[in-house]
Every structure is written in structure tokens, then in C-alpha cells.
């Protein structure tokens, strides 16, 4: 999972022969996150977005972003280059030397550029900019710049303290003085700080009497014709939502590739403009009790996909009888957690560079998927820890996805546990976050169109409509649980999403209300919502499924009804619609 802007920035540095300043710790980008602002056609991205969110009244203090992130030379430290993003009232830059600081953590990883200092350059001999002595009368005085900060004539001190202080505004560079505002033609009391300029507007309501200069916008307008900024014009132009999203979106299909015409299957994946597949890999079929692993057919599945340029998400499921507590295919017993971790390490070592992601288990909140009993969240997380460490020991670049609970409002340990409760239980365990890269989740729309959701906009009924578990937009509920846990910057991958059509399987009768044309329209709309409305916290959509109608002995089995191919390999409308969508919405 690579970020386009990171790659572009590195290429720029290589071309310029530039080396970034040394770091105390490597600054690893968080899972992709951004907030798109249609007002300026830009997204606040990753740590810049975190800084924006954590700044009190960010709209007043920072304003809208006016560029995408790019690498630029510091004007206060010539020869040093930082990743920067321009905002209306500030320019933010990442300082890798402050990443994971032993005392400050990441508090000063993102800092505002010293724009006030830059614009005050050459004014050092003006009376207001000359240092003053400490009045020693209780007034706040900064020895670093030898200037005071008070609430006279305007409430500058209160504003400074309430809206970010040192990390946002820096130290004062002047005493308050009167200055003409070139935009309004009026004179205001102002005070310069390292990173901004305060203006006192007594005619405004008390909460708006201190206004900040549009220093980011001002600096760009004054310097945009200079070579250092002229080459960055693309980053400042208006961008569509798709252009401003900071990471490539993953389009994937769930497939059954064991003992199949893989050349034909993988060609259909490529023809669909989908770059990924998700394939289940049952542990029970691969490892014997004596530890021997029979890679056999799985080798062919992986190697053939790699030869076709297809990326793979392996969903590892189903314990061997010898590994589980009760001789079923549920989660392994605790004494066999280390063996599962070793299995995952050997798998990741074997398929390094060929398998890009591993999903650890499947629908662990659903008894039928786990030997007849729901795996408690804490138990699952303990197992996940072994799997994660095993994968990362062999392939640090591989992405580890947590097992995807299935949507259900049921709460019986012999049947299922509501996945919203299950997610909350997993998220409440601190070590969960240290042993997962991406959150896996499953969704299905029954016969409800993608934009519907109980209770505000319910589906047609009469059944499968009175709980959000029956809707694609259940994903919004999962997202809220994620945000409530304090980890809203983590990305969700939808590893199964689909609408059934006509079938004879009990429990899936709703599929008989969906035509194959509706299936296609619903999947396309859900894909659009994930790609744009839910970006970037949804990073992948794996459609359930591509070819199960081909592999199933019963063309009316529910798994076949979810397929986007017919039993004779011909495409359903869903395949064609998704093909067109993926080709035009990268």
C-alpha cells in the first residue's frame, strides 16, 4: 500500500540530489487518512490532517488547505527539505527529528513554518520589533525573543493560549503596534509571532475580535513565480475529490482458484481492471500434525497470480483437527497459538513479494465458521498477536488484516455475537492495535439498495429491513465504533461485499427479490460510496464473488447467486458495470 505523494516526493528529492535531514526515528506514515475540502479542492492529509483536527478552532487558526503535500526547501534552514502542506493561514511541515521524541512523543512532529518570522524579516530595527526588558510585574515575557504577550489592547494572550500556543503560533516577535491591512485598507492593532500575525478587531463579537492573517495564502501569492514554487503549480490547483485522495484504492474479487482454469480466471480479474484477489487458505488443508506443510496447489494459486501481476490477500482460516481445542475447525487452542504463529511465519516467508496481505481468520463472531462456538474477542486477539508477529518476522512489508466479523444483531455464543459489540470488544484491547495494520469487515445488502439504512431511510421490506445489519451502510456503524475507540485514523478493508440473486439456500431467500441488473447497479453504487463518500477510511473493496457460480455444483446455491459470472463463465451485468467503474475511478 503505497502513497502516491510519498513516491512523488522521493522522486523529486532524487532528481534534485537532496538528502532529507537526519532523523532520530523513522517517521512512518499512518494508515491513509484525509479530509477533502471542496471549497479549495484539496485534502488535509495524514499527520497534517491530525494536526488540523487537534488544533482548536482549526478553521480560524489554519484555514482550508490550499495545496496537496509536497517536498520543499526550508526558508529558515536552507539546505534542509521537509514535507509541507500549505493552508490559508499557515504552512505546516513535518519534522522527522521530532518523531517519537523520548519526552514529547509526536507533539512537535508537525510544526507551522515560521511565516511570521519570514514576513517580519528586515523589520528588526522598527520600535515594535526591538527587544524589551522583562517588566517583572506578572506580565508574560519570553526570554527566547524578549517580547511580552498580554491582553492589552486586544486579548492576544488569551487567544494564544486557547488556540494552540507555542506549537501553533510560536513566540512573539514584536510588541503590539498599529499597522495597515493592505486587504481592507484599515489600520489595526497587530502583533507578530514566529508563525502568524494577530489582528485586533474590536468591532467584532468578542469571540472573533482576534483574527489571523492569511499568511499561507499571502506567502504563496508573493512567491509563486519563483522557481522553487513555480514547479509546484500542480499541487496548488483545484483538485477533484478523486485526485485529492492520498492513496490508490484497492479493487478486489473473492475467487476460488484451487483446481480451476486459473489462466482464464486471472485474465478475467485483469480484464475487470481489478488488481487484487482474496483467496481463502484453510490451515487444515495445509499442515499435518507432525508439522509438515503441503504447499502444493496453494503454490500454484499464488505463483500463477504473481505471474499475471495480480496482488493477493490470503484469508487464513480453519484450524486442523489436531490444533483446535475440540477437534473441529475453530480457532486453535492456546497451546497451539505458537504453532499457528510459526505457520504464518513460514507462509509469509514462502510468499514474500507474491502475497501482499494476510487476513487472520474469517467471521470469528459467527459460530458456524468456528467449530460451533463464537471465539471471544480477547481470545481472538491473543491468537492474532502470534499471527501478526509471525508474518512481520518474515515479511515486514506484508499487510495484516484483522479477521472480518459478519453483520448480525444476534447475541448467542452458540450462534453469533453482534459484530458491533465484537468490534468494540476487540478495539478495547490495547494490544490489538499493535498487532494489526488494517481492520477487516464484511457487509451485505440483502435486497436493500445501497443508499438505504434503518431507521431513517429503510429498504422496501417486508423483511430484512428493521435493523442496520441488513444494509450496506452498516459500515457507517462500524466506522463509528472505530472512531469511538479513539482509532478513527485506522483504515477499514471490506473483504466481502455483495448482493445475492435467485437461489434455493435457506436463509438467503432475499436474493430472489434481486435481479441480476439490480445486483450490478447496487454493487456499482456501493463501490462509488466506498471510493469517494467513505474515502480514505475505506481503502479496499473485495466483491463477493467472481467465479463461485462456475465452481459450484449447484448453480442456485447462495454462493453462486452472489457471483458476477454465470456458470458458463459469461459476465453478468455486475461484472461489466464494475469493470467500467474500476477502469475510470482509480
Which pLDDT value is given to residue 360? 98
Alpha carbons 50 and 33: distance in angstroms, whole number: 9
Lowest mean pLDDT among 72-81, 273-282, 543-552: 72-81
Cβ partners under 8 Å of residue 27, min gap 6: 94, 96, 99, 109
Give 88-146 pLDDT, tens digit per residue.
988 999 888 877 655 555 666 888 788 888 888 899 999 999 999 999 998 999 999 99
Mean pLDDT of 57-74: 90
Alpha carbons 65 and 95: distance in angstroms, whole number: 19
Which pLDDT value is given to residue 471? 98
Which pLDDT value is given to residue 8? 35
What is the DSSP-derived secondary structure letter of residue 124? Answer: T
Q: If we measure between CA atoms, which residue out of 519, 520, 534, 528 comes closest to residue 488?
A: 534
Which pLDDT value is given to residue 563? 98
Which pLDDT value is given to residue 105? 54
Using left for φ > 0, alpha for ψ between -120 and 50, and beta otherwise, residue 41 falls in left
Which pLDDT value is given to residue 287? 98
Q: Is residue 417's pLDDT more than 80?
A: yes
Mean pLDDT of 361-374: 94
For residue 282, report the phi and psi dihedrals to the nearest 5 degrees. Answer: -70, 120
Alpha carbons 256 and 277: distance in angstroms, whole number: 10
Alpha carbons 292 and 289: distance in angstroms, whole number: 7
Query: How many other C-beta atoms can be found within 10 angstroms of the C-beta atom of residue 416?
Result: 22
Cβ partners under 8 Å of residue 536, min gap 6: 32, 33, 34, 245, 246, 247, 491
Q: What burial class does residue 273 get, using C-beta atoms within 10 Å of its C-beta: 0-12 exposed, 13-18 middle, 19+ buried?
A: middle
Alpha carbons 550 and 7: distance in angstroms, whole number: 40
Q: pTM for this structure?
A: 0.71
Percent of the chain scored above 90 by pLDDT? Answer: 67
| Beta strand segments in 432-530, E | 439-444, 492-498
Mean pLDDT of 52-65: 88
Give 227-259 pLDDT, tens digit per residue.
877 778 889 999 887 778 766 789 999 999 999
Lowest mean pLDDT among 102-111, 211-220, 289-298, 366-375: 102-111
134 to 119, 146, 149, 241: CA distances (angstroms):
25, 7, 11, 51
**What proportions of the chain, in percent to the nearest 5, are helix, strand and coil?**
35, 20, 45
Q: Is residue 23's pLDDT more than 60?
A: no
Helix (H, G, I), strand (E, B), or coil: what is residue 286? coil
Alpha carbons 449 and 513: distance in angstroms, whole number: 11
Q: Is residue 12's pLDDT more than 90?
A: no
Which pLDDT value is given to residue 346? 98
Using left for φ > 0, alpha for ψ between -120 and 50, and beta otherwise, residue 509 falls in alpha
Opening angle at CA 305, ends 300 and 309, nearest 5: 150
Inter-residue contact 132 to 176 (CB < 8 Å)? no
Query: How many other C-beta atoms can be found within 10 angstroms of the C-beta atom of residue 222?
Result: 11
Q: Is residue 34's pLDDT more than 50?
A: yes
DSSP string, 80-92: -EEEEEEBSS-EE
Alpha carbons 433 and 417: distance in angstroms, whole number: 21
For residue 245, cis peptide bond before it (omega within 30 degrees of 0): no
Mean pLDDT of 200-217: 89
- Which domains, ranges and CATH numbers included, belong to the chain? 1-116 (no CATH), 120-213 (no CATH), 249-584 (3.20.20.80)
Which pLDDT value is given to residue 107? 63
Mean pLDDT of 197-217: 90
Alpha carbons 209 and 159: distance in angstroms, whole number: 10
Q: Is residue 434's pLDDT more than 50?
A: yes
Cα 482–chain centre separation: 12
How high does pLDDT run on average in the chain?
Answer: 89
Q: If we measure between CA atoms, which residue out of 37, 237, 84, 183 comes closest to residue 197?
A: 183
Amino acid at each position: 500500500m503505497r502513497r502516491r505523494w510519498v513516491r512523488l516526493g522521493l522522486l523529486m528529492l532524487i532528481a534534485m540530489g537532496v538528502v532529507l535531514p537526519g532523523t532520530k526515528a523513522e517517521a512512518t506514515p499512518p494508515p491513509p487518512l484525509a479530509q477533502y475540502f471542496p471549497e479549495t479542492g484539496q485534502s488535509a492529509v495524514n499527520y497534517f490532517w491530525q494536526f488540523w483536527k487537534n488544533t482548536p478552532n482549526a478553521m480560524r487558526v489554519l484555514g482550508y488547505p490550499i495545496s496537496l503535500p509536497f517536498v520543499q526547501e526550508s526558508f529558515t534552514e536552507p539546505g534542509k527539505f521537509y514535507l509541507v502542506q500549505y493552508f490559508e493561514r499557515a504552512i505546516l511541515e513535518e519534522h522527522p527529528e521530532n518523531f517519537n521524541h523520548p519526552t514529547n512523543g509526536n507533539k512537535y512532529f508537525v510544526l507551522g513554518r515560521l511565516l511570521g518570522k519570514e514576513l517580519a524579516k528586515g523589520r528588526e530595527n522598527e520600535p515594535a520589533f526591538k527587544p524589551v526588558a522583562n517588566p517583572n510585574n506578572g506580565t508574560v515575557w519570553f526570554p527566547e525573543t524578549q517580547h511580552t504577550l498580554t491582553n492589552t489592547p486586544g486579548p492576544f494572550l488569551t487567544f494564544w493560549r486557547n488556540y494552540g500556543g507555542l506549537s501553533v503560533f510560536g513566540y512573539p516577535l514584536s510588541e503590539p503596534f498599529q499597522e495597515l491591512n493592505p486587504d481592507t485598507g484599515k489600520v489595526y492593532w497587530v502583533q507578530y509571532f514566529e508563525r502568524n500575525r494577530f489582528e485586533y478587531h474590536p468591532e467584532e463579537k468578542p469571540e472573533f475580535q482576534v483574527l489571523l492573517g492569511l499568511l499561507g495564502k499571502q506567502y504563496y501569492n508573493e512567491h509563486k513565480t519563483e522557481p522553487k514554487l513555480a514547479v509546484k503549480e500542480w499541487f496548488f490547483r483545484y483538485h477533484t475529490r478523486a485526485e485529492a485522495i492520498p492513496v490508490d484504492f484497492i479493487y478486489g474479487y473473492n475467487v476460488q482458484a484451487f483446481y480451476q482454469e486459473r489462466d482464464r480466471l486471472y485474465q478475467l480479474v485483469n480484464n475487470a481492471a481489478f488488481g487484487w484477489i482474496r483467496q481463502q487458505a484453510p490451515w487444515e488443508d495445509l499442515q499435518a500434525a507432525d508439522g509438515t506443510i503441503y504447499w502444493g496447489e496453494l503454490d500454484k494459486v499464488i505463483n500463477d497470480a504473481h505471474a499475471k501481476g495480480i496482488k493477493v490477500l490470503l484469508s487464513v482460516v480453519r484450524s486442523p483437527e489436531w490444533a483446535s481445542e475440540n477437534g473441529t475447525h475453530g480457532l486453535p487452542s492456546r497451546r497451539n497459538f505458537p504453532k499457528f504463529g510459526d505457520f504464518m511465519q513460514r507462509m509469509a516467508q514462502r510468499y514474500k513479494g507474491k502475497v501482499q496481505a494476510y487476513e487472520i481468520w474469517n467471521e470469528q463472531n459467527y459460530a458456524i465458521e468456528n467449530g460451533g462456538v463464537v471465539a471471544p474477542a480477547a481470545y481472538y486477539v491473543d491468537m492474532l498477536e502470534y499471527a501478526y508477529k509471525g508474518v512481520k518476522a518474515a515479511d515486514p512489508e506484508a499487510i495484516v488484516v484483522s479477521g472480518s466479523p459478519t453483520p448480525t444483531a444476534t447475541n448467542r455464543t452458540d450462534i453469533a455475537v453482534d459484530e458491533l459489540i465484537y468490534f468494540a470488544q476487540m478495539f478495547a484491547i490495547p494490544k490489538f492495535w499493535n498487532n494489526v495494520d488494517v481492520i477487516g469487515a464484511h457487509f451485505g445488502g440483502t435486497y436493500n439498495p445501497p443508499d438505504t439504512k434503518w431507521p431513517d431511510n429503510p429498504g422496501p421490506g417486508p423483511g430484512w429491513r428493521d435493523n442496520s445489519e441488513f444494509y450496506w451502510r452498516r459500515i457507517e456503524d462500524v466506522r463509528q465504533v472505530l472512531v469511538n475507540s479513539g482509532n478513527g485514523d485506522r483504515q477499514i478493508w471490506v473483504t466481502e461485499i455483495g448482493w445475492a440473486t435467485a437461489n434455493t439456500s435457506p436463509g438467503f431467500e432475499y436474493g430472489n427479490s434481486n435481479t441480476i441488473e439490480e445486483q450490478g447497479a447496487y454493487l456499482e453504487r456501493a463501490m462509488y460510496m466506498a471510493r469517494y463518500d467513505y474515502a480514505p477510511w475505506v481503502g479496499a473493496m473485495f466483491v463477493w464473488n467472481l467465479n463461485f457460480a462456475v465452481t459450484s455444483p449447484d448453480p442456485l446455491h447462495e454462493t453462486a447467486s452472489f457471483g458476477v459470472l454465470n456458470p458458463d463463465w459469461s459476465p453478468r451485468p455486475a461484472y461489466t458495470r464494475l469493470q467500467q467503474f474500476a477502469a475510470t475511478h482509480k
